[in-house]
């Protein structure tokens, strides 16, 4: 290339390419994080996580105060201090742990069966128009049946052992996962599927590389919904001639007129539901770490 003045400009050798850029980068001042920034970020993160405890603590305080002032009947609504004593008594005798282990085992087995069937059948229906036309109408009709309507039928078919209880929980967990799987796969961007087809992906590879990962967020949402329903169906399941479990504890408190037992069972169910949902949410975050999703800043 010739300069207007007649000088000849030559391109810089390859070893000098980017030299000026590197030199400017080296000259640029290094910005250091202010002191205490790491610790302040830690405390902000901790405060954000603990903010969820604020409302329950305020409700418990208001509940205890209303009971102490005589605004509510202690017989109909025992204060949190009474519930704490009942909880300590049940925990000390070992009964509470026994009921928790039995109920958790039932929920775990029923959820595993129902969620697995929901994912498999949902994927099959979403990928096949023939299966969708054949199965989906019947499944949508079965989904509308209330949980308690299954109880007498399961008793007649499966007896009064563990089988009807786990089956009822599995039914409750199946439908949310099935719907979420079908919706997640069918709502995958068509352009992504076309790219996979242009690359020559087989049907199995297309599902493994594109359809499955794209539908995974929806599937996890369905699983979290199903897990909550599994704990709800547990109470109906443990009305089937159960002698152990948190549902039995609820029924026993009702029959003996002990409101404190009923409330302790309800609060325990709420805590277990929250704990298991948090575990599933943690698994979702680990499985979807690649996702660049929107997060609220405030």
- State the average pLDDT for the chain: 83
Q: Is residue 36 predicted with pLDDT exceeding 60?
A: no
Q: Is 51 exposed, middle or buried (0-12, 13-18, 19+ CB in 10 A)?
A: exposed
Q: Which residues pair with 191 in a beta bridge?
A: none
Residue-wise pLDDT for 141-179, tens only, equals: 999 998 888 888 888 898 888 899 999 999 999 999 999
Residue-wise pLDDT for 190-200, tens only, equals: 898 888 888 88
Range 228-241 average pLDDT = 87
**29 vs 179, which has greater pLDDT?**
179
Residue-wise pLDDT for 49-105, tens only, equals: 667 778 888 988 988 888 888 888 888 888 888 899 999 999 999 999 999 999 999
In the chain, how long is the greatest CA-to-CA distance?
107
Q: What percent of the chain has pLDDT over 70?
A: 81
Cβ–Cβ under 8 Å, residues 273 and 264: no
Q: Report domain extents, the chain.
A: 77-287
Residue 284 Cα distances to 34, 47, 170, 177, angstroms: 34, 23, 21, 14
d(CA 105, CA 109): 6
Residue 1 Cα distances to 13, 98, 235, angstroms: 15, 87, 84
Which one of 3.40.50.1820, 3.40.1260.10, 1.10.3720.10, 1.10.510.10 gives the CATH number of domain 77-287? 1.10.3720.10
Chain center to CA of 258: 33
Token pair 């910005």: residue:
31
Chain center to CA of 187: 21
Please enumerate in sequence order all residues whose Cβ is within 8 A of that of 49, keeping only pairs 6 or more positions apart, or say none. Answer: none
Confidence of residue 38 (pLDDT cuts 50, 70, 90): low
**168 vs 4, which has greater pLDDT?**
168
């Amino acid at each position: 290339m010739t300069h207007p003045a007649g000088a000849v400009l030559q391109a810089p050798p390859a070893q000098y390419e980017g030299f000026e850029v590197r030199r400017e980068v080296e000259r640029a001042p290094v910005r250091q994080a202010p002191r205490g920034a790491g610790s302040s970020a830690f405390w902000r993160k901790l405060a954000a996580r603990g903010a969820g405890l604020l409302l329950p603590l305020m409700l418990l305080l208001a509940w205890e105060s209303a009971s102490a002032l005589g605004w509510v009947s202690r017989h109909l609504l025992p204060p949190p201090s009474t519930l704490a004593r009942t909880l300590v008594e049940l925990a000390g005798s070992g009964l509470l742990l026994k009921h928790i282990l039995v109920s958790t085992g039932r929920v775990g087995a029923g959820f595993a069966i129902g969620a697995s069937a929901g994912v498999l059948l949902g994927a099959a229906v979403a990928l096949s128009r023939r299966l969708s036309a054949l199965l989906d109408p019947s499944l949508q009709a079965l989904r509308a049946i209330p949980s308690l309507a299954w109880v007498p039928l399961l008793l007649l078919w499966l007896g009064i052992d563990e089988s009807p209880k786990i089956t009822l929980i599995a039914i409750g967990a199946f439908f949310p996962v099935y719907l979420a799987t079908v919706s997640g796969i069918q709502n995958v961007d068509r352009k992504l599927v076309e790219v996979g087809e242009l690359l020559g992906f087989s049907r199995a590879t297309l599902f493994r590389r594109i359809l499955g990962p794209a539908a995974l967020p929806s599937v996890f949402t369905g699983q979290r919904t199903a897990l909550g329903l599994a704990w709800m169906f547990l109470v109906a399941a443990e009305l089937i001639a159960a002698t152990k479990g948190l549902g039995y504890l609820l029924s026993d408190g009702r029959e003996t007129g002990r409101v404190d037992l009923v409330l302790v069972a309800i609060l325990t169910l709420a805590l277990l539901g929250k704990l298991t949902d948090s575990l599933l949410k943690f698994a979702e975050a680990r499985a979807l770490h690649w996702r660049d999703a929107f997060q609220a800043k405030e």
